[in-house]
Every structure is written in C-alpha cells, then in structure tokens.
Amino acid sequence: MTNSIYIDQEEILKRYKQPDKKTHKGIQGHALIIGGSYGKIGAVSLSSKACLKTGCGLVTVFIPKCGYDILQISIPEVMVLTDIQEEMISNFTFDFTPQAIGIGPGLGQAVETQNALHQFLKTNTIPLVIDADGLNIISKNKKLLDLVQPKTVITPHPKELERLIGKWDSEEEKMSKAISFSKQHQVIIVMKGAPTRIIDGESVYENTTGNAALATAGTGDVLTGMITSLLAQSYETIDAAILGVYLHGLTADIALPETGYQSFIASDVIANIGKAFL
C-alpha cells in the first residue's frame, strides 16, 4: 500500500531549518553544478544562480571551456572550473569535496560526456541530483543505474521519465512503475509535472504549489539548482527534494499577479526564491 502525503505549508514548516545566527559560508554548504555544452551554457547559469539563491554558502560550476567568460560575467558569485574540451564535458575532475552535486542541466549527450558520467558514477559518494541529459545518458545505458548510489535524487520531466521507466497506459500504471523503479534503484524520483510528485520507495508526496507559468524553458534547470543547494545545506535527501519543489512552485504563485502566465520566465523563479522563503 502506498502512503500518500500532500505537501502544504504545514508539512514544509516541519522540515524547514532556519540558518543559525552564527553561521558562515563555510558551513552553509558548498555545491557543485556540472553541466553545459555549446549553446546550452544558460542552463548552468540558471541552475547555479538558483543554487546560490536557495542558501548554500558556496557554488562552483564545472562546464566546458566555452562557458568560462559567460559564467564569470553573468554570475560573479559563482566559481568556475572548466573541462579541457571547448564545447562539451569529457571528464568530471575537481579538487575539492562539495557537500552536494547537481548534474545534467545543458549537459548534452556527446560520447565523451557519456563516458565521463560513467567514470564519475563508479566512484562518487557525494549526495547527488541527476537531471536532464544526465538522465538521458543513463536511459541509453541502463547498466549505469547499478552505479547510482542510494538516495540519489532524479528529476525527470515526463519524457525523461518515460525513457527511464518505459511507456505507461494510465496514470495508475505510471505511478506503479515509478514506485517500483524508486524501490529497485533506491532513488528519490521528483516526477515533474502538474502536480509534481516525489516518490521515495513506499511514499508519494504530492506538491501543492506551482502553476502553468512554470511551463517555460529553464525552470527545470532552476529546480535542480535549488534541490542541490538544500542537499548541500545538510537537509535529509527527501526533505531537500520536497522543500525544493514546494519553494520552486511557490515562486510562480507569488509572481503570477505581476507577470501573468505568459511573461513569467525561469529567471523569475530565481528572483522570487527569497519571497518564497519568507
């Protein structure tokens, strides 16, 4: 029997942790966002900015060389590491230990990048969020699922979910396949949609915030940054996923009277993260 829980303000307040007055950036968590490829550096910009705005102390991005100037100029608060390749990532190497890693926004699926993800998953023990092309690469080679450590958060949109779990004929079948997948691979699935549902083995959490204004390019990349940020701040994995999804939806509810459905863009999510926390 599946346990179903609505995520409303009361559930969120049980999970939210106020930062300590004496905290400093070194203990607010250091997050790493890995992604980007030629023409998709914006996805990493959005994700890393959202990561900072969700409260972690430090954010580093790992991107192909072509994104270096873009990132440094557009988000001065973010530190930038680059791959040896100009247009895609070929090897995830970094010389520090982040508290959480988000992989996938704008990543692309070059063969070199597929190999790099494979090598990385073999040894990674750091809390991880996998999104977008990170998931698409795994869908192409399902053996990679055996390398994904327990409690990894995956954030598929409906097409990415289908590539992972296969087609479904009804909403019930989709849920039962997703629940089995979550149990089998011990992953937390953020099933993005309207509404977004979070699946953690036995339990299904249904989010109550958000609206159709979110149906615009880059809002998924922003969500990845937000969940990675909360993981880096030592939230329990399930709480990071729940709180991230709730706050992300709430930004759209807050902004809607000003932007309407049509002119809301992913940067408006980022701009309203502060109000969502308040």
Binding site for ligand APR (CB under 6 A): 43, 105, 132-133, 157, 192-194, 196, 210-212, 214-215, 217-221, 223
In the complex, the smallest distance separating the C-beta of residue 97 from ligand APR, rounded to whole angstroms, is: 27
Spell 138-152 as b/e; 16+ CB within 10 A means b: bbeeeebbebbeebb
Q: In the stretch 31-70, what mask flags binding to Mg ion with x, by CB under 5 A? A: ----------------------------------------
Q: Judged by CB under 5 A, which of 35, 134, 220, 225 binds Mg ion?
A: 220
Query: Whose CB is nearest to Mg ion?
Result: 220
Query: How far apart (Å, rounded) are the C-alpha atoms in residues 78 and 255?
Result: 25
Nearest CB to ligand APR, comparing residues 58 and 153: 153
Amino acid, single-letter form, for residue 278: L
Closest distance to ligand APR from the beta carbon of 240 (Å):
15
Partner from Mg ion, ligand APR, none contacting 176, C-beta within 5 to 8 A by type:
none
Cα dihedral 241, 242, 245, 247 sign: negative
**Hunting for tokens 């029997």 — which residue is that?**
1
**Who's near 75: CB < 8 A, 6+ residues apart?**
45, 48, 49, 52
End-to-end CA distance of the chain: 36
Structure tokens at 221: 């990349």
Q: CB neighbours of 10 closer than 8 A, spacing ≥ 6?
A: none
Cβ atoms 189, 199 nearer than 8 A: yes
Query: Which residue's Cβ lies closest to ligand APR?
Result: 220
Residue 215: name its binding partner from ligand APR, Mg ion, none (Cβ under 5 to 8 Å by kind).
ligand APR
Q: How far is the CB of 81 from Mg ion (least distance, A)?
A: 23
CB of 215 vs ligand APR, minimal distance in Å: 4
Is residue 151 within 8 Å of 187, Cβ to Cβ? yes
Nearer to ligand APR, 83 or 133 (CB): 133
The DSSP string of 158-210 is HHHHHHHH---SSHHHHHHHHHHHHHHHT-EEEE-SSS-EEEETTEEEEE---
Please state the closest distance from residue 125 (CB atom) to ligand APR, in A: 26
CB of residue 22 to Mg ion, shortest distance in Å: 37
User: Between 133 and 239, whose beta carbon lies closer to ligand APR?
Assistant: 133
Fill in the per-residue mask, 104 to 143: x = in contact with Mg ion (CB under 5 A), - = not in contact. ----------------------------x-----------
